[in-house]
A and B are shown apart, each in its own frame.
Chain A
């Protein structure tokens, strides 16, 4: 469909006509795959293969079709047409179990775990013997799971309850699960999203080991530095079409971004204005901080954390997995209770563990687990945007549909949600677009204090910069306050005024952003 890109055309041909050694049959090959969803052509005649002993990265903007492609390989969705070949022979998958049996391991983009089971039990799901107990791991199982977790650099125990882990921790557990029983073809859909760089590095080391064991690895990611560090070949998708497959050596960051995006990006000047976004009532705070957190303690995740947030300020919370920065936001928002300490908005103390109270005081949280608690998958984008009760789009309990449409259109445009269809079910958006929707929704409710937990996980490079700029701009114009918890320090350096670093539940260091750099933050954050 897509004509070869003039700039990269020759390379593309070189890559695809590479001489094949005899017997060099790809471990897995997708040939001429088409897949449509109602209203969207998600994949248009895409071919893709992965060989043993290589890491093949799959890149593309949000909604380009990466997850759809790997889901087809993992047997989760059937293609409309096209062939799947394993070691050169055609296969048809009847469901994920089928694909697993044929040696395909898949780490999905969204974390999932049985919350009431321990990490170890979750890792072993589907592999347990007939007499295994739900509550307790046998010493052999314990050893097995501990070993993998250690090697992935997990800071939590195999007997920890999954429901109590943060999103980065769960993600690590999920990767470990796959590494426990790796198939011949390992598919990782954004495994490093929301992982700090050094946690991701441990994981990438494991992948290198697996590559050396002649596994075929497919790696989907938006973090280009890491991709360039590990990939042997790179395929770029754009709007459901394969732009090309390139050896790693031929690409650098800028080239990749150019290949991924062909749309003219919105610049600051022509970015649509959020007319419906009324400035929150940030009254004179009488010299007091907007948000004051004092001695907040919830063992073992939070120990004596104190900080201030002023109106018009963006505070960053940096941390690696297990440092408690996500837990801090949940405690402030009233999702989790705390044992000691106090949270006050404009001098008024809040009750521990009461979401409604925090919300009334103007605190809005964008949680990290978007699928479970940031959006309602079965509702349309428009309905999701108008859910918050303070939304202006209803009067006396009667919804004003035109107003809703207008508001939804504005936010879809401002946050670059694709496809720009306000009536689409939120659950059918791609992962990155769901994340954009979660952010947009939080802003609809006109927060005074906005808490963002790993806000840009899964959002593509270009959109990320735009969204961070948008948040900065809104903060400047409307004077609310933002706390961003992130494992991606670059993002904090780009957006925050002050960066606090957390480690093992404690606030260990504070930098004004001018004085902070990546190395210093990492040094402080490591436990």
Chain B
């Protein structure tokens, strides 16, 4: 060891162990998913593990996947978007009306533009005017819900067009079109995050806004664009739902805001920004959908389903934090709780902004981005 040459600069390869560490959130989600599917299959062997049910699950998952990918961008850049559900409802009305007037192709474009425009307004208010994402997107949610009612006169708008059905209603061969669209968008997003400059900036701004500002990056512009993408994908989700039920409805996307945030957080992203992986989002969506469908199939009531999803969210996040041994003992929680109230990292230099309080007790658990 004593006379080494200066180490050569290599592009390091991850060893299997490092790889498992890096993707531990995903591995845990996969394991959880497998266990859950096994349990539901045992409970309802004639319903759950069937092709029809798999199609059903993926039909539902497709829409959530698209919206959650958008939500991941908003969360990664350092905020979140509570207006995606209302955005879907509004886009649904707009699209349904446009189908009647201008045909399907134009309606889809109009729908996407509507979603993007909503996102852009969010983004400008958040990035340029520096209003908090909570306030902005909450206000947008309320506004859009009202506006959708105004536009539709409070009623549903029929959009029973056979072509539109291809984008969320029918199956593409054996594959439901929603999951088909979801996977296409997922692949595009993979390229976007990994290979484009904007994609890099989403992570960089979420990681340290100040550093980016000093690096001469027009931070506000890219942040606004990010919210625009979130809005556009919510719009896409709205179109898909419209196609599925053949009507435009203001309430169509209700609940998607929280479900999409839940899926993203289960997938390992951190509220506060800088972290978030599409593979995690995909598995988070899969987990949420398999759980909901499973509970419905086994005859659990709606209220109990909601309770179960709430618990699943917390458990999933807790498990992903156990990695690295930060929860070795319950006593670890005490300093964590204290810290939460004091709000100041005493010793470690880990992310103060992190929504995961235990990150401060173990730096080793904090490096899987």
Residues of A within 8 A of B (CB): 1-3, 5, 37-39, 71, 74-78, 94-100, 106, 108-110, 112, 114, 122, 125-126, 239, 241, 262-266, 333, 335, 355-356, 359-360, 364-365, 367, 371-379, 383, 386-390, 394, 397-399, 401, 405, 409, 412-413, 416, 418-425, 427-428, 441, 445
Residue of B at shortest CB range from A114?
A: B344
Residue of A at shortest CB range from B199?
A: A399
Most chain B CB inside 10 Å of its own CB: which residue of A367, A387, A428: A387
Q: Is the CB of B348 within 8 A of A96?
A: yes
Contacts of A108 in B (CB 8 A): 347-349
A-B contact pairs, 29 of them (CB 8 A): A5-B2, A38-B17, A38-B367, A76-B348, A77-B364, A94-B331, A94-B335, A95-B361, A96-B347, A109-B349, A112-B345, A125-B342, A125-B344, A126-B342, A263-B4, A360-B216, A373-B208, A376-B207, A377-B208, A378-B275, A383-B200, A387-B215, A389-B218, A390-B216, A397-B196, A399-B195, A422-B11, A427-B367, A441-B215
Q: Which of these, A367, A388, A419, contacts B7 with CB under 8 Å?
A: A419
Q: Is the CB of A376 within 8 A of B343?
A: no
Q: Which of these, A94, A364, A394, A413, contacts B328 with CB under 8 Å?
A: A94
CA distance A100 to B347 in the complex (A): 10
Q: Is the CB of B2 within 8 A of A112?
A: no
Q: How many residues of B contact A (CB 8 A)?
A: 70
Q: Which of these, A126, A367, A418, A421, contacts B344 with CB under 8 Å?
A: A126
Residue of A at shortest CB range from B327?
A: A94
Q: Is the CB of A100 within 8 A of B346?
A: yes
Q: Is the CB of B1 within 8 A of A421?
A: no
New A-B contacts (17) at CB < 8 Å, excluding given A379-B369, A387-B212:
A37-B364, A112-B352, A114-B344, A122-B344, A241-B1, A364-B216, A373-B208, A374-B214, A375-B208, A376-B274, A377-B351, A387-B200, A388-B216, A399-B199, A420-B7, A420-B10, A422-B12
Q: Is the CB of B338 within 8 A of A97?
A: yes
Q: Is the CB of A372 within 8 A of B2?
A: no
Q: Is the CB of B367 within 8 A of A425?
A: yes
Residue of B at shortest CB range from A2?
A: B1
Contacts of A99 in B (CB 8 A): 347
Q: Is the CB of B348 within 8 A of A3?
A: no
Q: Is the CB of A365 within 8 A of B214?
A: yes
Residue of A at shortest CB range from B344?
A: A125
Contacts of A112 in B (CB 8 A): 345, 349, 352
Q: Is the CB of B347 within 8 A of A379?
A: no
Q: Which of these, A39, A333, A420, contacts B8 with CB under 8 Å?
A: A420
Contacts of B313 in A (CB 8 A): none
Contacts of A122 in B (CB 8 A): 344
Contacts of A38 in B (CB 8 A): 14, 17-18, 21-22, 367
Contacts of B362 in A (CB 8 A): 76-78
Residue of B at shortest CB range from A100?
A: B346
Q: Is the CB of A422 within 8 A of B325?
A: no
Question: Which residues in window 1-60 of B have CB below 8 A to A?
Answer: 1-12, 14-15, 17-18, 21-22
B304 at the interface (CB under 8 A from A): no
Nearest CB of chain B from residue A196's CB, rounded to whole Å:
24
Nearest CB of chain A from residue B88's CB, rounded to whole Å:
28
Q: A383-B204, A399-B200, A425-B367 are in contact. Are A96 and B335 (CB under 8 A)?
A: yes
Q: Is the CB of B348 within 8 A of A71?
A: yes
B292 at the interface (CB under 8 A from A): no
Contacts of A106 in B (CB 8 A): 347
B279 at the interface (CB under 8 A from A): no
B334 at the interface (CB under 8 A from A): yes
Most chain B CB inside 10 Å of its own CB: which residue of A2, A5, A335, A379: A379
Residues of B within 8 A of A (CB): 1-12, 14-15, 17-18, 21-22, 194-201, 203-204, 206-208, 210-218, 274-275, 325, 328-329, 331-332, 334-336, 338-339, 342-349, 351-352, 360-364, 366-367, 369
Nearest CB of chain A from residue B341's CB, rounded to whole Å:
10
Q: Is the CB of B21 within 8 A of A387?
A: no
Q: Is the CB of A423 within 8 A of B11?
A: yes
Q: Which of these, A125, A239, A265, contacts B1 with CB under 8 Å?
A: A239
Contacts of B204 in A (CB 8 A): 376, 379, 383, 387
Nearest CB of chain A from residue B272's CB, rounded to whole Å:
10
Q: Is the CB of A422 within 8 A of B349?
A: no
CA distance A413 to B6 in the complex (A): 9
Q: Is the CB of B218 within 8 A of A356?
A: yes
CA distance A335 to B363 in the complex (A): 30
CA distance A1 to B2 in the complex (A): 10
Q: Is the CB of A96 within 8 A of B208?
A: no
Contacts of A77 in B (CB 8 A): 362-364
Residue of A at shortest CB range from B336?
A: A95
Contacts of A78 in B (CB 8 A): 325, 328, 362
CA distance A374 to B366 in the complex (A): 19
Q: Is the CB of B216 within 8 A of A423?
A: no
Contacts of A379 in B (CB 8 A): 200, 203-204, 207, 369
Q: Is the CB of B7 within 8 A of A418?
A: yes
Contacts of A2 in B (CB 8 A): 1-2
Residue of B at shortest CB range from A104?
A: B347
Nearest CB of chain A from residue B285's CB, rounded to whole Å:
23
Nearest CB of chain B from residue A468's CB, rounded to whole Å:
19
Q: Which of these, B9, B213, B217, contacts A420 with CB under 8 Å?
A: B9
Q: Is the CB of B363 within 8 A of A71?
A: yes
Q: Is the CB of B2 within 8 A of A3?
A: yes
Contacts of B346 in A (CB 8 A): 96-97, 100, 125-126
CA distance A125 to B341 in the complex (A): 11
Nearest CB of chain A from residue B368's CB, rounded to whole Å:
9
Q: Is the CB of B332 within 8 A of A95?
A: yes
